[in-house]
A and B are shown apart, each in its own frame.
Chain A
Amino acid sequence: MPIKRPRSRRSTAISAVLAIAVLAIATVALVLHVQQRRRGDALLRADPDRVLASRELRSTALAIGQPAFVRECAGCHGPRGGGDPLRTTPDLRDDEYLYGSGKPDEIEQIVLYGIRAGYSRGKNLASMPAYGRAKPYAGEAIPPLGPAEIADVTQFVLSLSGRSTDREATARGRVIYQGASGCYDCHSGDGRGDPGIGAPNLADAVWLYGDGSARSIAQSITYGRAGICPAFVTRITPLVARAIAIYVASLSHDRQS
């Protein structure tokens, strides 16, 4: 017949201490979780434009955003957001923005719905037509250009940054640019682009495709361009999307300040 031994005082004390320790750890974990949740909620409720100015919100955003950026975006944009010329992904650290003006809420929209990613809420308004192909643009009827016309438009584009080498070709190119080819429609009459539709500024020294040489400009005009950024709306939470947007905004904000 088994004999049931009474529990010693010591083992009872150990059990009690262990129970209290587990309870304490659980309480601390719960408190930390609640605090983290509150910080996340505060970040989501805040004006994205003001987050970088608030030390607490900023640290919350960067703590979530930086690792999420490395996980989701670094494959194309590089671990520090410097871009990749091969993948033609932009440098996110400068103050040049193809879409919008670098405001965190604008970046957040791109993180969520992407660029040419299939979402109607995303950036899908326009692509660079391929003027050297029989049908330059799928969306509407645009007349193709001949090789000489492309060379003229290239000279005009070079002239926007003071690099034209042929005055007569530049004059002819201006007429084409402002005429039926419709270049002005996206890039504006002065070539400074339209961040509303992702039409780049042709008058500065920043080139997403190629090196800004006559050859690379002619290539873009002849064969067109259309980059893609995936939409993350089904993959990440709204908090992570906000945090990534703040982190990306901080890259150029910190560099300039």
Chain B
Amino acid sequence: MTGNPEAGEVLWSPHDAAARRSLILCAAGAVLGLVIAGIGLFTAKGTRTSAVPAEDVALVNQVPLLMSDYLLQLRALYDVSLSEATPEQKKKVLDDMIHEELYVQRGVELGMQSDTIEVRAALAGAVEAQVAADAAMALPAESELHAYYDAHTEKYASEGILELEDYQVAPQSRLQPSAVAAALRHGGNPAQLDLIRTAAMKDGEEFYFAAKIHLADALYDAATRLQSGEVSEPLRLADGIHILVVKQNTHPLPRSYAEVRDKVLQDYIAEQVKILAAGNDRFLRKRADIAVARGFE
């Protein structure tokens, strides 16, 4: 194949065995390359790895089934560890996982995410949950949490407690209500003052929210303004005249940061989730091509 043309030597001669061999090898290489390319082209399944990574128990169409999920399933179904599980148990769990993965993939092929309400709801929920998970991942510094607590101390106050007696002046009473209230303040006996105790607050001390339900707004507002041991002025309402005798009124008090830190963290993260979710929503809308029919804008 080598030669000097100026000296009249030919570059390639079919009579030269080495030249023939090199041509055949070259052609065989080209054919082999074409065959491999053809097989790759017509049987391609995307990029794939031949070995199952150590963190996975299997690959289904290259989608990994995680070893941690496999261990969890063994624990959940049979309460066994990997070494305690029998071959049948292992097979059952793996078969179930492969079955589920195949059906999920088939579901996506069939477009279940477009047709099935439950799948759509689960997908939307999962994306929202992912945002929540991202927010939970970024734990705030202690100073940030404390600042949040300082800005929302009323939210972390204790629940107020009320204990009182709610009296109604008897309709037939001839006593002046203000005189009755004054007598009560001096230790007068309610029965001798023509007072009837209502059923509200009969169970003793109650949290503010419960007292508000039992007393209704007008009496509740009046009661929370009184201090422990005080008697209200007569309160004229639609159902008659009421007088409140407050035994105990414990106002809501701020709770210390140490006592409520878990709640502060929860609320802080919930707020971050809202911010992230709103940002996510804006981003999705911005990049989407949304066309709304006329009249429905």
Provide the A172-193 mask, 1 if CB < 8 A to any CB of B, else 0.
0000000000000000000000
A-B residue pairs, 7 tightest by C-beta: A118-B132, A238-B55, A118-B133, A47-B82, A41-B54, A134-B209, A44-B54
- Residues facing A in B75-120 (CB within 8 A) are 75, 81-84
Contact call B261/A86, Cβ cutoff below 8 A: yes
Give chain A residues whose Cβ lies under 8 Å from the Cβ of B81: 47-50, 103, 105
Least CB separation from B211: chain A residue? A146
B65 CB–A CB distance under 8 Å: no
Smallest beta-carbon distance A65→chain B, Å: 15
Give chain A residues whose Cβ lies under 8 Å from the Cβ of B126: 120
- Residues facing A in B222-274 (CB within 8 A) are 255, 258-263, 265-266, 269, 273
Q: A234-B137, A235-B137 are in contact. Are A47 and B83 (CB under 8 A)?
A: yes
Q: Which residue of the partner chain, among B132, B205, B259, contacts A147 with CB atoms under 8 Å?
A: B205
Give chain A residues whose Cβ lies under 8 Å from the Cβ of B161: 147
A75 CB–B CB distance under 8 Å: yes
Contact call B258/A223, Cβ cutoff below 8 A: no
Contact call A144/B55, Cβ cutoff below 8 A: no
Smallest beta-carbon distance A45→chain B, Å: 6
Q: How far is the CA of A219 from the CA of B75 in the complex (A)?
A: 35
Q: Which residues of B contact A (CB under 8 A)?
A: 54-55, 66-69, 71-72, 75, 81-84, 126, 129-137, 139, 158-159, 161, 203-207, 209-210, 255, 258-263, 265-266, 269, 273
Contact call B209/A133, Cβ cutoff below 8 A: yes
Q: How far is the CA of A239 from the CA of B66 in the complex (A)?
A: 12
Q: Which residue of the partner chain, among B54, B68, B206, B260, contacts A45 with CB atoms under 8 Å?
A: B54
How many A-B residue contacts, CB cutoff 8 Å? 127
- Residues facing B in A215-238 (CB within 8 A) are 219, 222-228, 230-232, 234-235, 237-238
Q: A48-B81, A105-B72, A133-B159 are in contact. Are A147 and B262 (CB under 8 A)?
A: no
Contact call B129/A209, Cβ cutoff below 8 A: no
Q: How far is the CA of A62 from the CA of B120 in the complex (A)?
A: 43
Pairs A–B under 8 Å by Cβ, sample size 11? A44-B55, A45-B54, A50-B83, A88-B262, A117-B133, A118-B135, A119-B129, A132-B207, A144-B210, A226-B262, A230-B139
Smallest beta-carbon distance A101→chain B, Å: 11
Q: A227-B262, A238-B67 are in contact. Are A147 and B55 (CB under 8 A)?
A: no
Q: How far is the CA of A226 from the CA of B203 in the complex (A)?
A: 30
Give chain A residues whose Cβ lies under 8 Å from the Cβ of B210: 134, 144, 146
Smallest beta-carbon distance B213→chain A, Å: 8
Q: How far is the CA of A256 from the CA of B287 in the complex (A)?
A: 56
Contact call B133/A105, Cβ cutoff below 8 A: no
Smallest beta-carbon distance A22→chain B, Å: 30
Pick from A10-18, A28-36, A106-114, A156-164 the stretch touching chain B. A106-114
Smallest beta-carbon distance A247→chain B, Å: 16
Give chain A residues whose Cβ lies under 8 Å from the Cβ of B83: 47, 49-50
A76 CB–B CB distance under 8 Å: yes
Give chain A residues whose Cβ lies under 8 Å from the Cβ of B269: 228
Give chain A residues whose Cβ lies under 8 Å from the Cβ of B206: 146-147
Q: A76-B139, A146-B204 are in contact. Are A228 and B265 (CB under 8 A)?
A: yes
Q: How far is the CA of A114 from the CA of B83 in the complex (A)?
A: 25
Contact call A112/B75, Cβ cutoff below 8 A: no
Q: How far is the CA of A76 from the CA of B206 in the complex (A)?
A: 37
A3 CB–B CB distance under 8 Å: no
Q: Which residue of the partner chain, among A109, A148, A225, contacts B72 with CB atoms under 8 Å?
A: A109
Q: How far is the CA of A45 from the CA of B75 in the complex (A)?
A: 16
Least CB separation from A233: chain B residue? B133
Give chain B residues whose Cβ lies under 8 Å from the Cβ of A118: 129-136, 273
Interface centre among A48, A86, A118, A119 (most CB of B within 10 A): A118
Give chain B residues whose Cβ lies under 8 Å from the Cβ of A116: 136, 266
A198 CB–B CB distance under 8 Å: no
Q: Which residue of the partner chain, among A49, A112, A114, A134, contacts B136 with CB atoms under 8 Å?
A: A114
Interface centre among B68, B132, B203, B265 (most CB of A within 10 A): B68
Contact call B71/A146, Cβ cutoff below 8 A: no
Smallest beta-carbon distance A89→chain B, Å: 10
Contact call A105/B71, Cβ cutoff below 8 A: yes
A40 CB–B CB distance under 8 Å: yes
Q: How far is the CA of A7 from the CA of B206 in the complex (A)?
A: 99
Give chain A residues whose Cβ lies under 8 Å from the Cβ of B72: 105, 109, 121
Least CB separation from A124: chain B residue? B129
Smallest beta-carbon distance B50→chain A, Å: 15
